Structure 1
């Protein structure tokens, strides 16, 4: 059974070493320490309770962990020996650096307390007066023997007159001699004080006065009101040692300390993380317990360790399903910001290199390889989903050889500035001067699909020395003669494009095709949504699921439940211990990144606010202008459709809630919203074009006046007939 964290007995390894060399233990041929005998020889040595909060000292037991190797501080050198001369004093350069740091801290403390010394003196004087009153009252109670009052009262209540008289006589005698002591002390102070004040030199009197005032102030001040505050506050955190780890696992129901086959074992020595932010150890659960059991008990383990759940990280060990690595952070690693994006340097990037994304829980840099991948980002609203997607888009924008398509179904301001560099962009669902955003989305996806199919055709015809294995290379992508630049498509709030009626069927079909096929042709997708469960029904809902599930890299910020977390991170993520619903609401821009590497870190993304985004995009536009790669809408090209879908356009201008519209209304709305195609349209001309598809011209009442127009149901029926044909 493992020793309790409150035991004061420690294993005496010196005694064990002596036993090792003692031929009387285990016979003359014994080469192994008899631990049962050696364990009985213990040397008491007090140590702090395992529950105290202190500066991190790893605080590891020398006693071997049950069933595993000893868990202790890792050696500071390969030989396991500490340096004879501390590193801070090894060499004149280190000595100077140590002195410089020490003097800097001392100077800071002197300045801090020097500035506050008048306030310290004022407080000390006030509390010294209170201390005199308290000291006098304390002496009075001592003289009056107040500690015996309860005994006398008890005797009186019990009617025990003899005991009361006995106690009364004792208290009278005690008061007599205590009163004598106090009287002599008072007389000595009255006559001796002025004498000392007159004869003592000032250099002796001043420290005595300071000490007296300080002592009286200490007596007078409340316990929670220190006079002198700390200039430097040392970081404090929960102490972690093997006893506490065992306590936590047993309390979580992952084993039993008194059953040999149900004991938790250590598979490695405990070690400080190289980043200096926590400690880790390999844990072997009892046979029959699995990694899934540990992940489900993560909250209970955190409770047993007496730390926040966000400080406990459990990682699967591929060698055994009952083994895992436990990493405990000194403090909440996710509550600290990762800082601003390194892209603010506005230097050209290379899409063929991983994009900087943020820092993991241990402070290591995390990057995402965009090439050949599709990235899915999901979260509740206002958790940093758009910021995370935009971070990757900014990296792609700074590579002047990447052709950008930015489609935001939400229409938020976050993406508007990408019009500076995007070949195609659409924001929201409301009609704009650029056209119907839904139509722009369809056109952009059609063009990308045609480009992807054309690329595969042309790549297959290139010689092997230029295009090995028929795959796009960096040289081909950056050579203008091949016309195959890397393309990056960013969709925010993409669920909106699956809930637009008939047009959503084509959008869904195109997206499913592209997310499956396009990455291998150098067309990457980064897609963000707050509704990963899907929208609509029927075929569109099925295609939504297919689109969502065909992303290789997944990033989930905080979600509402583990089910939603699994939808974003992929099936089985929760059983592996990854659940974004456990992230706190205060963690903005923090999420679990799965599929980007062998590890699945919890990442704090870099920050790029609106001003940072604008600065980076202005620089990105200049890079594209210098490289001659600015194209599409960013270059002012006209991307209007050569042939308009009249039925779809007319249906789009009939507002929701309207059963129909008059021909004059339809003509005016088309001219206002799509002037590039319908600037000169009249009520008669649009009526003729629509009636050619079999749509009836019927009376539509407006403001009490009935004029000819079209019903929305008739237009929908005509669209359905055309598709069926």
Structure 2
């Protein structure tokens, strides 16, 4: 019931109203003011480090240094002109270089200079009296001449006053000159020092007589700066070789006598440097990078070789960026009428650093081209083969152990062409080289019986030969195909050709990559007459590729830039023209792409009657089943067919290993000597086989006649 009651009065305890609580958030504290000294320091630092401030400071120092440097240069020139210091410097330089004849000549010149100077000084003692006499005589003669001229004027004008007219005119002219000097003298005295400073500034600016850091940006970096004697001497002085630096400082000519004339050589310049006593050539060679940087060049733009003269290094310095420009196309591509001559011709391989054509003779020379992967080894080797293919007498046996089609254009041109990287291809390549050894022996035997016998040149070319040397496969007798031991088949075949092949024009050409003692044995690499190397990784590899003599003489394929110097070879060979005294030459080879290479190969094929190219070496031994059957029967009157098959299989497993009685019966029935039964077993009769052989020989003789 209580739930139905409605109260008529207010609830004495009403619900409390919700209270809103306000939170006072304090305002953000004001940032602390930055002290004045901090703001000033930051402003000063920004101003000092600003590029405009740096440029202004460099300009201020540079131009002041020009004036001081110019004054020093003028003072030195004046001193040299007034004293014998120049002769003394040249005398000391000649003595330091050990050139006593030149030293004696400069000493004689110094003595003559001193005698002439002494005479001039002695003449000065008498010159005042002589000068006074000269002035008096000149003045008297001048006045007399003017008076005589006045007399002539007076007679002509009939006026006696004209006698002094010429003399009066001269006096007035002198007075005018004095007035002009009085007017000009003040300004000249005022601006004279400024003109002198300007002249000194001009001399200093021309000689760049300022600190290196203060010079303009284009002068500071020296990029592309022409090579001058002073630059070369300064670069040598700063190499960090104490003996060389001391010798240059002691030379009176500051080292200029060390240098030969700088001559233009292709896309660079060349200069010979005669080193002073106590400095060896290999010390300079070992600092090639620092020397290049001192010459404002990259390392690959400076080549150091050893010429014929003693204690001399030859520097070839490329124009900045010139070696990054490609050379022109090969004459094989541009001249379709070009032919080759194996014995007397030279292959156009590329250009040397001088820009001259680099041509190489291939006559009776084994060839080795090596380098890192993808540097142009196959292209440079193929360029020589394409040129030689234009001589129709040359034969090619090729094995491309890369097998990607680089030599595909020789299909129909080479007598043998093996392409592939597997062990089976290595086996085929090894058998090809062994066949070349047999051909070499045949030629040697023919030459022994007929000393005048001649043979067509045979080029046995193996590209990627390191695959053959590293092949693990072995033959049935356990002899390895790869390796560098006396049992290694490929190694021994190559060695035999290297030893005797040249005499009968059987030549071994090999291309390898990343040489080591394992993939390029010492005896093989030293058996090549022409050794060429592209970019390599280490100096040790360079010595493997070219030999110690070439590397000691300055050859440095390990300093070529991988990827950037593709096709650039360092060549050591007597078949190419090498400057006197050098052991190698650097050649930038022509690149012949696949399409023009195929066109050149087509021209070579057109010179030949047609060549059938073998793509595998057929090692199947020729056999005559009937003759072999007679051989295995021997003296027995008859032999069971099963025994005949067993003996044939033992004699030649490859030919008869899978024979059955059916195969034996087929051969015998065809010859008319079919098997027959004896004591219930099938046998082969000796007499029947012998009679069949005799009848066949008679038929062959009759058909031949």
* TM-score w.r.t. length of structure 1: 0.53
Q: 1:18 to 1:342 in 2, by over 3 A?
A: same
Q: Aligned pairs, how many? A: 430
1:664-701 CA-partner distances (Å, limit 9, x unpaired): xxxxxxxxxxxxx999996989xxxxxxxxxxxxxxxx
Question: Hey, what's the Cα distance between the residues in 2 that align with 1:573 and 1:53?
Answer: 42
Q: CA deviation at 1:327?
A: 2.1
Question: Hey, what's the Cα distance between the residues in 2 that align with 1:303 and 1:364?
Answer: 27
Alignment of 1:227-626 (within 5 A): 237-254=224-241, 255-259=243-247, 266-273=257-264, 275=266, 277-320=267-310, 322-344=311-333, 345-346=335-336, 347-352=338-343, 353-430=345-422, 436-462=424-450, 467=452, 477=454, 484-498=455-469, 499-502=471-474, 503-504=481-482, 505-535=488-518, 544-585=521-562, 586-596=564-574, 597=576, 598-599=578-579, 600-625=584-609
Question: Hey, what's the Cα distance between the residues in 2 that align with 1:333 and 1:487?
Answer: 39
- Listed as ranges, the gaps of 5+ residues in structure 2 are 1-64, 92-105, 117-198, 475-480, 483-487, 624-652, 662-705
Q: 1:441 to 1:257 in 2, by over 3 A?
A: closer
Question: Hey, what's the Cα distance between the residues in 2 that align with 1:425 and 1:644?
Answer: 23
1:548-599 CA-partner distances (Å, limit 9, x unpaired): 2211211111111111122111124433222212111211111211224434
Q: 1:680 to 1:616 in 2, by over 3 A?
A: farther
Question: Hey, what's the Cα distance between the residues in 2 that align with 1:595 and 1:430?
Answer: 33
1:103-156 CA-partner distances (Å, limit 9, x unpaired): xxxxxxxxxxxxxxxxxxxxxxxxxxxxxxxxxxxxxxxxxxxxxxxxxxxxxx
Q: 1:31 to 1:421 in 2, by over 3 A?
A: same
Question: Hey, what's the Cα distance between the residues in 1 that align with 2:355 and 2:305?
Answer: 17
Q: 1:631 to 1:444 in 2, by over 3 A?
A: farther
2:401–2:421 contact (8 Å) kept in structure 1: yes
The match for 2:109 is: 32
1:557–1:580 contact (8 Å) kept in structure 2: yes
* TM-score w.r.t. length of structure 2: 0.54
Question: Hey, what's the Cα distance between the residues in 2 that align with 1:244 and 1:450?
Answer: 61
Alignment root-mean-square deviation, CA? 4.2
Question: Hey, what's the Cα distance between the residues in 1 that align with 2:240 and 2:113?
Answer: 28
Residue 281 of structure 1 aligns to a residue in which SS?
strand
- Listed as ranges, the gaps of 5+ residues in structure 1 are 57-234, 468-475, 478-483, 646-676, 686-725
Question: Hey, what's the Cα distance between the residues in 1 that align with 2:83 and 2:249?
Answer: 31
Residue 496 of structure 1 aligns to a residue in which SS?
helix
1:253-306 CA-partner distances (Å, limit 9, x unpaired): 23454557976564454233254x322222122212111111101111111111
2:265–2:353 contact (8 Å) kept in structure 1: no
Residue 323 of structure 2 aligns to a residue in which SS?
coil
Q: 1:279 to 1:439 in 2, by over 3 A?
A: closer
Residue 414 of structure 1 aligns to a residue in which SS?
coil
Q: 1:287 to 1:453 in 2, by over 3 A?
A: same
Residue 490 of structure 1 aligns to a residue in which SS?
strand
Q: 1:238 to 1:323 in 2, by over 3 A?
A: same
Question: Hey, what's the Cα distance between the residues in 2 that align with 1:441 and 1:258?
Answer: 60
Residue 273 of structure 1 aligns to a residue in which SS?
strand
**Deviates most, 515-524 or 379-388:** 515-524
Q: 1:299 to 1:34 in 2, by over 3 A?
A: farther
Question: Hey, what's the Cα distance between the residues in 2 that align with 1:13 and 1:331?
Answer: 37
Q: CA deviation at 1:489?
A: 1.9
The match for 1:633 is: 613
Q: Which 4+ runs in 1 deviate beyond 4 A?
A: 4-8, 10-20, 34-38, 50-56, 256-265, 677-685
Question: Hey, what's the Cα distance between the residues in 1 that align with 2:257 and 2:350?
Answer: 32
1:334–1:590 contact (8 Å) kept in structure 2: no
Q: CA deviation at 1:506?
A: 1.4
The match for 1:717 is: none
Question: Hey, what's the Cα distance between the residues in 2 that align with 1:53 and 1:311?
Answer: 24
Q: 1:406 to 1:319 in 2, by over 3 A?
A: same
1:348–1:400 contact (8 Å) kept in structure 2: no
Residue 253 of structure 1 aligns to a residue in which SS?
coil
The match for 1:212 is: none
Q: 1:455 to 1:682 in 2, by over 3 A?
A: closer
2:237–2:248 contact (8 Å) kept in structure 1: no
Question: Hey, what's the Cα distance between the residues in 2 that align with 1:356 and 1:492?
Answer: 20
